[in-house]
Amino acid sequence: MTFRKLPNIIITGTPGSGKTSHAEEFASQNPEFDHINVSEFAKANDCLEGYDEERDTSIVNEDRLLDLLEPMAEKGGLVIDWHCCEIFPERWIDLVVVVRCNNTILYDRLEKRGYKQSKITENVECEIMQVLLSEAMDNYDQNIVVELQSEDLDSLDANVSRISQWVEMWKENNPDGVSNELE
């Protein structure tokens, strides 16, 4: 039986909500954690299997991605940053942070990135309908899912502090680590 001494965290949210900013800031303040930007990781590790022209996005080979991430997840200390979370096995994950954003702010962020109007509309509608929050709640124990608002640097700092506090509590509550096995 293997144990991990650090928790694994998913930071998810609609594109433009601030998930990467949160993950990067958390990892910079907590160097024992490895930030995995799944989009970049998938490109760098040959996990792409095509391109969706309509959505203007790459298609990730999820099986290959999970095979590559599994040994890392078993060690613990991952901060997984991606726009979806349901593909990651529940036994890997200790905290799911769903970053949310005001729709007007989100629209402006996506427009500034140069997204096509159809992609902006799809993502803003996704945020309005709370799609990522619902996916997180449907796929993980609701006790490990946290919704955080992300609209400015103050909220970013407060959210990263909150995640760091959660990690310290996790360490106190699990001094021997946690099992990677299914219970």
For the chain, what is the total number of helices (H) and then of strands (E)? Answer: 7, 9
Instruction: Give Cα separations from 20 to 32, 70, 143, 173 (angstroms).
Output: 18, 21, 23, 27
* Residue 131 CB neighbour total at 10 angstroms: 15
Q: Is 116 annotated as a binding residue?
A: no
Q: Is 150 annotated as a binding residue?
A: no
Structure-block tokens of residue 113 = 């990135």
Q: Is 14 annotated as a binding residue?
A: no
What is the radius of gyration, based on Cα positions, of the chain? Answer: 16
Q: Is 18 annotated as a binding residue?
A: yes
The span from the CA of 126 to the CA of 122, in Å, is 6
Chain centre distance of CA 139? 14
Annotated binding residues for ATP: 16, 18-21, 113
Annotated binding residues: 16, 18-21, 113
